[in-house]
Amino acid sequence: MKRVVGAAVAAGAGVLAWSLIEAQSFTVRQISAPVLAPGSKPIRILHLSDLHLTPSQRRKVAWIRHLASFRPDLVVDTGDNLAHVDAVPTALEALEPLMEFPGVFVHGSNDYYAPTPRNPFKYLKEPTQAREGKTSLDTEALTAGFEAGGWVGLNNVRASLEIAGTEIAFVGLDDPHIGRDRLPAQDGGATDAALRIGVVHAPYLRALGQLREDGAQVILAGHTHGGQVNVPGKGALVTNCDLDTARASGLHGWPGPRPDEQGGSESAWLHVSAGLGTSPYTPVRLACRPEATMLTLLPRRA
């Protein structure tokens, strides 16, 4: 019995040690989707989410800054950049080289409120809830820094940009996880756009439904951390929202099959980023490396 208990403790310690290492094993995932009109120039999107930065995370800051070497056509930041009351300068430092490129952003709950200790096992029961008395962060400074760098805020906002010769209409939602999402009114300017992209932090079904009904052909989201602690061979156990765990991260169709699969013509392309960070109170990942994604939009076959 002592040997069995000792082996179990050793195995648990090994898993914990690996999960701490994996949380620092940043990677860039490269994927593509045939969504553009035939003959269009490909569009390379760098999708960032859930950085959860603190001032002491110098290695992560340097890694994010190095992403500018990919020279994307567009950067999409789907929120939760902060994890500390003093992290706004850290986030702006990390993202400063990427502001050389066109960008859009929405906020997540952790861009509004500082993280607090939680029982991690509660994630298995239900999505986290906003707590009374949470410490507010300097969201205005974060927004101002992004906009000063030329990025366009999409928190319940519409916008349009010409990227690599393609006119893109964007619609964004503020974070549904804390009930801030309000679909902005149509402005008539999106009718001539060749591509429509929806952007939101937390991929709640109501938000995805609104964006798809609004005409989004591509939807970008984060929030889930890809499940964060996954079971090898099974995948994510939770998404921290009402999205199914099969779509906790990666490129999928929504609400049905991917548009390049049989029967998926009515679906949008949905990319959910597994994100780059964690809460400072649960700094672990298992079978779910922290990631940034280079999503290349390709022309459809004629």
Angstrom distances, CA of residue 187 to CA of 76, 184, 207: 22, 9, 19
Mean pLDDT of the chain: 91
The CATH number of the domain covering residues in 2-299: 3.60.21
pLDDT band at 7 (very low <50, low <70, confident <90, very high): very low
**Amino acid 34: pLDDT:** 96
Give tens-digit pLDDT for 105-140. Answer: 999 999 999 998 877 666 666 787 765 568 999 999
| CA-wise closest residue to 53 among 278, 294, 286 | 278
**Amino acid 5: pLDDT:** 45
Residue 170 CA to residue 200 CA, distance in Å, equals 11
Arithmetic mean of pLDDT, 30-42: 96
Arithmetic mean of pLDDT, 85-98: 98
Quote the pTM value. 0.93
pLDDT over 90 at 4, yes or no: no
Give tens-digit pLDDT for 195-239. Answer: 999 999 999 999 999 999 999 999 999 999 999 999 988 899 999
Read off the DSSP letter of residue 234. Answer: T
Arithmetic mean of pLDDT, 170-188: 94
pLDDT band at 15 (very low <50, low <70, confident <90, very high): low
% the chain with pLDDT above 90: 80
Give the distance from CA 175 to its chain's centroid. Answer: 12
